[in-house]
């Protein structure tokens, strides 16, 4: 193998693998520190997530959310942008979905209402990203800071809307009324039942197909369209992009819109698929989880699907841990997210010098 | 009139209390960002130190040991941030996010493992927390109208960390603008190459800045759980680290202006609590969420250059790579 081949193997496969392993080992150390046997914990976790129908259903249901936010972060990363605002975009996207699902004519067909509601999520998610994008592109304010601020604005806005506008008269809790039935996405167990197969009930619904569709769409868009090429070019080198006639400002705005729209889809799984109403903090943690998923999945849709599935396992298995062991709660998943972001993101190059020295050393002059 | 006056003084008093962790965190951010390292992880450091301080204070029965433990925990997180973003030249924002999430998860896991309670530590009793100090002369000045109330309610009756917070701002100013270290700190944030050429260690300076920041953040966190409150509760920082970040930008990375921004944002928070459900004649009820959101809105407007311009240190967010 030539040295270049070896280097690309190191960067593309070994490094991410080592990073993920380190995050796992670090989590194991946290387990030991709190007096839990990591091997036993892993067994419980895996059984809870994959061992039976219902568990698997939950795992895939959680994974669906992570696919959306993971794709959102990844698209922005390709343009060299760090969209830390997935949390807020997902939240406001939920409002877009709810407005359609609450007020549309109930006599309409699901075939029209569901795509409309999905578009509502896409649109509102994109809207929540477009201001930070515009400010970054045309006013020079840093996208990371503005998207953080927009997360807080989203949360203030949603509390206001839920408490003062969408809450039904006489209700105490800040949540909307039920969505109109034609906007509900069918549960997978109901779909299976209609074909005569019986599987356990779980919140898994057809949004998972939407997630797969958008994974494919993002892949096609980024690697097989002119715009996708422009985004990746601008992300690699601004100067080169300008030189080849690409307008980086436009790229920022378009990329962030796509990113925000994807994050806005969390609501279709949580709201249209499961809860059928809008409520506070339905988005909680998925926006930040998306950062871990994108970093772990190396910003590629296939990597993201795998990473999202893994985080689905952790979420569902974490619930099982909570139930089985006294000393640990599902917050261990949050610790693990943090460790994944640290080792796959911040400390991305930790092992590079060592790996290069052993596997692809620079040859002494011939 | 006197009612309105008393309410105003009490609101200002509440602002002072809310302001303290913001000041510590913002000063911490100031050191980091002046050295060219963006610190998104202020929130996580505040939270972690709040938890560790409350735990140590409860176990050892002393708020001072709690404070030291909190400073240590926060400094450890700051060093992790430094290791990733200075030594390994990783993305500073990513590692800051990692610290926030890590702190959020670890505090939850450890409250359960150590105290068998999800998300809270035991309540601190009496001397286990920082108590308020009554300044001398309250009885004498109390008889003077207006001044008496201001002295009694606003100036006296805070705990030691409150006074420390306000005292530390001029110290930070002095360090940043009047010492050799401060000069180098500002230089390394603007033009690390020049600092390197002058034979100084860019990495060393940045590590020191982060360490100072970690310690300051640690005091802010300890204040939250051992002075302002008497225990750690889940996510008790409630975005304070991000408000501090906003104040840092709003104050344009200058200690006194940052202090003013912290106080403004704290005042808005205190006002939001005060105005809950109050109907103002001619205006109606102001939505609390709007007041809550004001610091963020103001910062966004400022960042966009619509009122003045906030220009961060030039080298911020860029790892320094030595040319060979």
Q: Where are the domains of chain A?
A: 1-36+327-366, 59-324
- A–B CB contacts, 8 A cutoff, strictly below: 151
Assign B308 a pLDDT band (cuts: 50, 70, 90): low
Nearest CA distance, A193 vs chain B (angstrom): 39
The share of chain B scoring above pLDDT 70, in percent, equals: 98
Q: pLDDT, tens digit, for every residue of B272-288?
A: 888 777 777 777 777 88
CB contact under 8 A, A156 and B293: yes
Lowest-confidence pick of A9-23, A329-343, B133-147? B133-147
Q: Report yes or no on B223 lying in a domain.
A: yes
Q: Is the pLDDT of residue B214 over 70?
A: yes
Q: What percent of chain A has pLDDT over 90?
A: 47
* pLDDT confidence band for B202 (50 / 70 / 90): very high
B1 compared with B264, residue with greater pLDDT = B264
The total number of structural domains that make up chain B = 1
Q: Mean pLDDT across the stretch B60-68? A: 93
User: In this predicted complex, what is the ipTM?
Assistant: 0.89
Alpha-carbon distance B54 to nearest alpha carbon in chain A (angstroms): 18
- The answer, for A148 touching chain B at a CB cutoff of 8 Å, is yes
In this predicted structure, the answer to whether residue B186 has a pLDDT above a threshold of 70 is yes
pTM, two decimals, is 0.90
* Mean pLDDT confidence for A111-120: 92
Residue B169 lies in a domain: yes
Q: Is A35 on the interface with B (CB under 8 A)?
A: yes
The DSSP output letter for B200 is -
List the beta bridge partners of residue A187.
A205
Of the candidates B90, B245, B249, the beta carbon closest to that of A346 is on B90
pLDDT category, A365, cuts 50, 70, 90? Answer: very low
Does some domain include residue B312? Answer: no
Report yes or no on B132 lying in a domain: no
Interface of A with B in 38-77 (CB under 8 A): none
Q: Of A84-88, A320-324, B304-308, which range is least confident?
A: B304-308
- Name which residue leads in pLDDT, B136 or A255: A255
Whether A157 and B304 lie within 8 Å, measured CB to CB: no
Residues of A within 8 A of B290 (CB-CB) are: 156, 160
B132: β partners: B159
| pLDDT category of residue A26 using cuts at 50, 70 and 90 | very high
Range B66-73 contact pairs with CB under 8 angstroms and sequence separation of 24 or more: B66/B128, B66/B222, B66/B225, B66/B226, B67/B161, B67/B218, B67/B219, B67/B222, B67/B226, B70/B218, B70/B219, B70/B221, B70/B222, B70/B225, B70/B226, B71/B214, B71/B215, B71/B218, B71/B219, B71/B222, B72/B218, B73/B48, B73/B49, B73/B218
pLDDT of residue A366: 45
Arithmetic mean of pLDDT, B187-199: 90
Percent of chain A with pLDDT over 70: 99
Confidence category of residue B324, pLDDT binned at 50, 70, 90 = low
Q: What is the mean pLDDT of chain A?
A: 89
Higher-confidence residue of A219 and A237: namely A219
The better pLDDT of the pair B294, B80 is held by B80
Mutate to test the interface with A, among B238, B304, B315 (most CBs of A within 10 A): B304
Using DSSP, state whether B133 is helix, strand or coil: strand
CATH code: domain of residue B194: 1.10.3470
User: Is A159 part of the contact surface with chain B (CB cutoff 8 Å)?
Assistant: yes
What's residue B220's pLDDT?
Answer: 96
pLDDT at B118: 79
Tens of pLDDT, residue by residue over A328-346, are 888 888 898 899 889 988 8
Segments forming the whole domain that contains residue B30: 2-127+137-303
In a domain, B322, yes or no: no
> Residue A171: what pLDDT?
79
Point out the least confidently predicted range of A103-117, B36-50, B144-158, B226-240: B144-158
Query: Is B115 inside a domain boundary?
Result: yes
Cβ contact, residue pair A341, B101, below 8 Å: yes
- CB within 8 Å: A341 and B94: yes
């Amino acid at each position: 193998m030539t040295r270049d081949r070896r280097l690309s193997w190191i960067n593309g496969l070994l490094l991410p693998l080592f990073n993920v392993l380190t995050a796992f080992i670090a989590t194991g150390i946290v387990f030991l520190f709190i007096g839990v046997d990591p091997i036993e914990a892993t067994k419980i976790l895996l059984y809870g997530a994959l061992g039976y129908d219902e568990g698997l259903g939950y795992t895939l249901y959680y994974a669906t959310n992570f696919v959306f936010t993971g794709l959102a972060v990844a698209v922005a990363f390709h343009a060299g942008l760090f969209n830390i605002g997935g949390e807020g975009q997902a939240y406001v996207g939920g409002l877009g979905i709810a407005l359609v699902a609450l007020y549309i004519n109930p006599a309409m067909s699901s075939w029209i209402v569901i795509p409309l509601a999905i578009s509502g999520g896409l649109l509102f998610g994109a809207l929540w990203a477009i201001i930070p994008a515009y400010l970054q592109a045309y006013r020079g304010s840093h996208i990371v800071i503005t998207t953080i601020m927009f997360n807080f604005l989203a949360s203030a806005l949603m509390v206001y809307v839920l408490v003062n506008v969408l809450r039904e008269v006489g209700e105490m809790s800040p949540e909307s009324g039920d969505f109109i039935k034609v906007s509900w996405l069918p549960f997978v167990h109901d779909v299976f039942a209609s074909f005569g197969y019986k599987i356990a009930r779980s919140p898994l619904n057809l949004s998972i197909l939407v997630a797969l569709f958008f994974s494919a769409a993002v892949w096609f868009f980024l690697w097989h369209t002119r715009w996708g090429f422009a985004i990746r070019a601008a992300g690699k080198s601004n100067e080169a992009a300008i030189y080849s006639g690409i307008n980086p400002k436009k790229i920022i705005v378009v990329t962030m819109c796509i990113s925000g729209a994807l994050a806005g889809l969390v609501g279709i799984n949580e709201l249209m698929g499961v809860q059928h109403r809008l409520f506070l903090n339905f988005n909680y943690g998925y926006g930040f989880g998306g950062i871990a998923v994108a970093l772990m999945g190396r910003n590629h849709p296939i990597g993201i699907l795998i990473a999202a599935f893994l985080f689905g396992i952790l979420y569902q298995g974490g619930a099982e841990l909570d139930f089985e062991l006294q000393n640990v709660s599902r917050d261990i998943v949050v610790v693990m997210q943090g460790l994944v972001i640290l080792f796959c993101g911040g400390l991305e190059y930790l092992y590079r010098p060592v790996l290069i020295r052993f596997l692809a050393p620079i040859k002494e002059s011939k | 009139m006197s009612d309105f006056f008393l309410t105003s003084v009490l609101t200002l008093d509440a602002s002072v209390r809310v302001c303290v962790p913001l000041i510590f965190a913002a000063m911490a951010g100031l050191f980091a960002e002046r050295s060219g390292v963006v610190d998104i992880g202020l929130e996580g450091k505040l939270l972690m130190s709040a938890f560790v301080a409350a735990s140590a204070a409860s176990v050892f029965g002393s708020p001072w040991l709690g404070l030291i433990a909190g400073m240590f925990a926060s400094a450890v997180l700051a060093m992790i941030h430094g290791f990733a973003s200075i030594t390994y030249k990783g993305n500073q924002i990513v590692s800051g996010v990692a610290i926030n999430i890590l702190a959020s998860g670890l505090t939850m896991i450890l409250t359960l493992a150590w105290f068998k309670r999800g998300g809270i530590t035991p309540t601190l009793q009496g001397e286990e927390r920082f108590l308020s100090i009554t300044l001398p002369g309250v009885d004498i000045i109390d008889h003077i109208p207006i001044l008496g109330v201001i002295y009694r309610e606003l100036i006296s009756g805070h705990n030691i960390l409150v006074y420390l917070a306000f005292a530390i701002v001029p110290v930070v100013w002095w360090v940043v603008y009047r010492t050799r270290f401060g000069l180098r700190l500002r230089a390394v944030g603007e033009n690390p190459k020049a600092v390197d050429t002058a034979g100084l260690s860019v990495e060393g300076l940045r590590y020191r800045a982060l360490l100072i920041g970690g310690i300051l953040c640690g005091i802010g966190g300890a204040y939250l759980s051992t002075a302002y409150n008497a225990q750690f509760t889940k996510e008790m920082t409630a975005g304070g680290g991000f408000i501090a970040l906003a104040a840092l930008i709003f104050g344009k990375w200058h200690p006194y202006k940052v202090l003013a921004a912290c106080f403004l944002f704290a005042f808005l928070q205190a006002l939001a609590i005060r105005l809950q459900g109050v109907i103002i004649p001619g205006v109606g009820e102001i939505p609390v969420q709007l007041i809550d959101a004001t610091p963020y809105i103001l910062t966004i407007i400022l960042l966009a250059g619509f009122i003045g311009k906030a220009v961060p240190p030039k080298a911020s967010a860029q790892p320094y790579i030595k040319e060979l």
